[in-house]
A = this chain, B = another copy of it.
């Protein structure tokens, strides 16, 4: 009799975004004339950069001639893409990362989940609260937790609260943890990490033999030169950190699909017998066996991100979204709300007024203003009383949404 993975039964009924979609659809059915503006899910809205499109059209044409046709590519990604990433994203910032340490994938969401494949089931795992739900849910699925409690926390996970009180940067754990998820610029709070703060984490990890999963999906939104873009800008990080990056939010690849994971070669994990094992070898084996590389066409599109035209077009995209963020911050402040984030990050994190719960605020915003955001409690218990607003939308929609909030909330 085939049995199922019972850990799946521990998962909360709905992932956050499907629940939002359900409430929005119910509202639209009841109010078909409403012009709903979605500032909820962190999805980009503006066209793909011309340089990426040109490169992909050229790549499709390559596929039409048997001499330039590409069959299976390297599971790790093409060298020409890995080398450009190593050079532009890492070496240019003084990070000693080699192309061979970069693995191209079809998404950071996939990599953040799949990375658990290569680690033991006995690791103590720390996440911030609130947190990107994928980190938690993939650990539940892998059997790394107990049941969920009334607060919405899974037994066995170490939750590190991030709130206005600690400036949305978690205090280092007093207990020993083995795997730590950090995300900067942060989803959902929009907080950033200073060099000193990250150095404290790296020092903690090295002292405890821990490994940091560093999610840098939003690094392109950093404008302050003092804020590190990569964990590898921190001394010692190559010995204790894996970094996840994506083309989704800088180049608008959410529907095109390309990301990367950096696994340094001198990163070590422990076997049951205490032996040192190179984590790079395990991830290389995992990707070779359970993955077949990213579409050649898409990799050519990602490569164009590093061309002069690509860089200029991406800067314009980022600037555009960051102007949106500034407008959101300004108008919500004007509306009397306490706002965080939205500087060096595309998310604005709002304190709900009048003691409203996150979902109450969601419903009120949807019904009164026809604006969709994301309830902070969907990201964890400590997100209760907060609300995420995304800067990913057209200028007209952002202006109109803010106008409605100022007038009707």
Cα A46 to Cα B5 with chains together (Å): 41
A121–chain B nearest beta-carbon distance, Å = 8
Q: Which of A193-222 contact B (CB under 8 A)?
A: 208-211
The smallest C-beta distance from A80 to any residue of chain B, in angstroms, reads: 14
What separation, in Å, do the CA atoms of A72 and B21 have in the docked complex?
Answer: 14
Q: Which residue of B lies closest to A43 (CB)?
A: B71
In the assembled complex, the Cα of A119 lies from the Cα of B18 at a distance in Å of 24
Q: Is A114 an interface residue (CB 8 A)?
A: yes
- For chain A residues 274-313, which have a beta carbon within 8 Å of chain B? 277, 279, 282, 285-286, 288-298
Q: For the complex, is A257 an interface residue (Cβ under 8 Å from B)?
A: yes
Chain B residues lying within 8 Å of A15, measured Cβ to Cβ, are 285, 288-289
Least CB separation from A209: chain B residue: B1
- Report which of B72, B120, B296, B298 forms a contact with A4, defined as CB distance below 8 A: B120
Q: Is the CB of A282 within 8 A of B69?
A: no
A18 to B211, CA, bound (A): 29
CB atoms of B141 and A3 under 8 A apart: no
Cα A61 to Cα B257 with chains together (Å): 16
Q: How large is the interface on A (under 10, 10 to 19, 20 to 34, 35 or more residues)?
A: 35 or more
Residue of B at shortest CB range from A273? B6
| Residue contact A107 to B57, C-beta cutoff 8 Å | no
Known contacts A1-B208, A1-B209, A209-B1; A118 and B8 CB within 8 A of each other: yes
Question: Is the beta-carbon distance between B64 and A289 smaller than 8 angstroms?
Answer: no
Bound: A4/B271 CA distance, A: 6
Question: Is B64 a contact of A48 with CB atoms below 8 Å?
Answer: yes
- Chain B neighbourhood of A69, CB < 8 A: 45-48, 252, 255
Min CB distance A353 to B, Å, is 30
| Interface hits, A1-42 → B, CB 8 Å | 1-6, 8-9, 11, 15, 18, 41
A32 to chain B, nearest CB (A): 21
Structural contact, A47 and B71, CB atoms closer than 8 A: no
With beta carbons under 8 angstroms apart, the residue of B2, B6, B43 that contacts A211 is B2
A250 at interface by CB-CB < 8 Å = no
Q: State whether A178 touches B289 (Cβ < 8 A).
A: no
Bound-state CA distance A296–B293 (Å) is 17
The one of B8, B73, B119, B277 in contact with A282, judged by C-beta atoms closer than 8 angstroms, is B8
The verdict on A163 contacting chain B, using a C-beta distance below 8 Å, is no
The residue of chain B having its C-beta at the shortest distance from the C-beta of A176 within the complex is B1
| A95 within 8 Å of B (CB atoms) | no
Q: Is A384 part of the contact surface with B, judged by Cβ < 8 Å? A: no
A269 CB–B CB distance under 8 Å: yes
A254 in contact (CB, < 8 A)? yes
In the complex, which residues of chain B have a beta carbon less than 8 angstroms from the beta carbon of A44? 71
What are some 7 contacts across the A-B interface (CB < 8 A)?
Answer: A2-B210, A3-B119, A4-B118, A45-B71, A48-B63, A69-B252, A109-B290
The 7 residue pairs across chains A and B that have the minimum distance between CB atoms: A3-B120, A1-B209, A113-B290, A70-B255, A4-B269, A43-B71, A48-B63
